[in-house]
Every structure is written in structure tokens, then in C-alpha cells.
Structure 1
């Protein structure tokens, strides 16, 4: 049998496609593994806190009517 599979003109494209199909999920898995391994565990309290900049919010003694804006 003289015909070899590697002599096909699109063999290189198939090999690159197969390597990409294996490398892409492997890269995603590795990034997920590394990020979970090195993530800070004490950030939950910070995530749940309210983020506000400026002075403390206080209730205004008087309310402004909606007609003021119309």
C-alpha cells in the first residue's frame, strides 16, 4: 500500500485542529485551577459590603415634589 495518510494535503490542518481542540480546554482548565488555587479566601466580606464613596447618606428632612422636575 503506497498511499500514506500523512501525504494527504490537509493532514497538517487536521493535526492543528486536533491540537487546538485539545489545547483550548486544557488551557481553560489550567487557568481555572490556578486562579482557584491562588485566590484570596477572605474577600467574601469585602464583596458583600456596600461600596459608597463620599459622605454618609442621611435622610433629607424635606422631600422634593415630583412636579419640581416636570
Structure 2
């Protein structure tokens, strides 16, 4: 996929290395984010999902560690 994008980006006049670097950073950010979410503990997910519904969490911020 990256080779496909790089192939078209090379055809563009005045294309430099900076668009490739920014695409790589953008892609890596979301891959790392996906890995962190997949590894997240199920209990923490339940706590985070109930924050909007929990009235006590609005007053205390130290419930999640």
C-alpha cells in the first residue's frame, strides 16, 4: 500500500520527502493507537465507558488510575 502511494507521489511535481514523512507519522500514530486500545484492560474500558453516566465521577477525578 505504501509503495502504491509513493508511486503516485513521485509523479507529482515538486514532491519532496516531507509528504512521505508526514504520511508515515500519520500512519504510525494510528497504528500505535490501535495497538494501545487493543491491549487495554477490559475493566478500564468499562470504567471509561461509564464516566458520562457516573455522577460521582463528575466531582472526583481520582477514580481512574
TM-score if structure 1 supplies the norm length? 0.41
Query: Radius of gyration: which is bigger?
Result: 1
TM-score if structure 2 supplies the norm length? 0.43
Higher percent of residues as helix: 2
